[in-house]
Amino acid sequence: MIVELEKTYRGVLCPRCGARSAAPARALQVAQETYTPQTFLVRCAQCEGEGRFSMADVRAFSGEPQKRVRRSRAKISPPR
């Protein structure tokens, strides 16, 4: 039995900026249960570009998925 100490998640790479985004858990679950190829839309957390992905695009990343930044609410002080 393999114990995973490192956190991993399944996600996709944004075709525009190359940022990692977590794949929707529901799409992964449906694909696993039905063995049918799923396509799903993922909005990039970095550039907010939306892309359509298939299960073939899903890969395992180490770490935790990037949190989506809501620009309208986020209070980020610019570096000086």
Nearer to Zn ion, 15 or 29 (CB): 15
Q: What minimum distance in Å lies between the beta carbon of 2 and Zn ion?
A: 32
Q: What minimum distance in Å lies between the beta carbon of 27 and Zn ion?
A: 18
Beta strand 8-13 with 59-62 is: antiparallel
Alpha carbon distance 28, 71 (integer Å): 28
Q: Which residues bind Zn ion (CB under 5 A)?
A: 14, 16-17, 19, 44, 46-47, 49
Nearer to Zn ion, 17 or 41 (CB): 17
CA 22 to chain centre: 2
Q: What are phi and psi of 42, to 5 degrees?
A: -130, 130
Q: What minimum distance in Å lies between the beta carbon of 66 and Zn ion?
A: 10
